[in-house]
Structure 1
Amino acid sequence: MVSPQVTNLAIILVMMQVSKQVPFDNPDVLLGVRALYILSNLIILGIYLYIQGKINKKRDMTTLKYVEPAPVGSGEEPRPVTTTVMEYDKQQLRQLIKTQMMGVGMMGVMHLYFKYTNPLLIQSIIPLKSALEGNLVKIHLFGKPAVGDLQRPFKAPQGLFGMGQGAVKSDKASVENAEKNWRGGVKEE
């Protein structure tokens, strides 16, 4: 299966060529592209609000323990986390909404202040595609079981060249070791 990053890159390259052919100087075309961008973001927001309703309705209070990796270069110890599936999903959803709003803000600055119009077309497609490929959407919207890659805690997505921060660990030994070593725990010398 082709990775989402590769398909995003292909879409960007194709849409950059398409956007060169779009007459953005025509006010009707520009209004249409703006409307497409707004519609795309409203669809994403609608999906996220629907998922929030599904999470609240399920109220899955199953305990979830995992080890969150330390930020790269911080020198901190990995942090143990104990939560519920419901709270984990809500936290993941908040992060998705925050990321989407930051994208809208950046696009607003690029379009309204710097007068860039070409990115409007690309940003009407990529965020919607990414939202539909998300783990929470697969579980709560498409009804896929939370097993394999969809098992919580979700694996951090790899970067374009396979680089990313440390993996989230949920095996019993890693969780117990992190709980023992995390702030105030007894360290064995």
Structure 2
Amino acid sequence: MNAGVQNLVISLGAMQIARKIPFDDPDVLIYVRIAYVLSQVIALGIYYYVSLIIKKKNDQTVLKYVEPGSPMSGDPKGELVTTTVRDYDLSETSKLLRSAYMGIAMMGVMHFYFHFTQPLFVQSLMGLKNIYDAKPVAIHLLGKPAVGDLQRPFKAAGMFGAAAGPQTDAAAIAEAEKKIGKKEE
């Protein structure tokens, strides 16, 4: 099953369970807060640990791909990106960290300002699910080979199947290199 669909199913199921939890009880609320904080600390800790593993491996294999162009820019071809596996994995891990920090900030506003309690329960489960779905975690922590869905550059999975992302075929890279050569002349 697609990760986006899994997230939707887990969220809906967790919301149904959360409706039965008595959040009015201060003891229950404390335990849910502890579970949320613990899941976020685990997520942040794992992401930092993965970044340390990436730095320790120091894989300097060159990675070339064509980043898809923005539909708003009018340039559908995209631009050539040349990086190393180490730098690519570190940038992906930093995106995961940013996403976790953004989720914590949004949850802080929702819980402390708007006094919503159900999302704490749902996000404590989703934080752990996001760790499992993170591709750098799968490669560097779980030891899965970087083939198929885990092949770099990672493709963003669409909600209903089709994955979109950078192009790695030789023709697209050669065309992007020609475009760069024309700009320099």
* TM score, norm. by length of structure 2: 0.92
Instruction: Give unpaired runs (5+ residues) of structure 2.
Output: none
Contact kept, 8 Å, 2:53 with 2:140, in 1: the verdict is yes
Shift of the alpha carbon at 1:51? Answer: 0.4
User: CA–CA distance in 1 between the matches of 2:157 and 2:130?
Assistant: 12
> Which residue does the alignment assign to 1:175?
173
Counterpart of 1:121, as a letter, is: F
User: CA–CA distance in 2 between the matches of 1:120 and 1:13?
Assistant: 14
Contact kept, 8 Å, 1:179 with 1:185, in 2: the verdict is no
> Which residue does the alignment assign to 1:129?
129
> Which residue does the alignment assign to 2:54?
55
Contact kept, 8 Å, 2:68 with 2:166, in 1: the verdict is yes
In the alignment, is residue 144 of structure 1 matched against residue 144 of structure 2?
Answer: yes
Task: Kindly report structure 1 stretches of 4+ aligned residues shifted beyond 3 Å.
Answer: 161-164
Counterpart of 2:98, as a letter, is: K
Shift of the alpha carbon at 1:73? Answer: 2.6
> Which residue does the alignment assign to 1:114?
114
Instruction: Give unpaired runs (5+ residues) of structure 1.
Output: none
* TM score, norm. by length of structure 1: 0.91
User: CA–CA distance in 1 between the matches of 2:2 and 2:60?
Assistant: 32
Contact kept, 8 Å, 2:2 with 2:161, in 1: the verdict is no
> Which residue does the alignment assign to 2:37?
38
Identity, % of aligned positions: 48
Distance 1:31 1:131, change over 3 A: same
More helix by percentage: 2
SS in 2 for 1:21: coil
Contact kept, 8 Å, 1:153 with 1:168, in 2: the verdict is yes
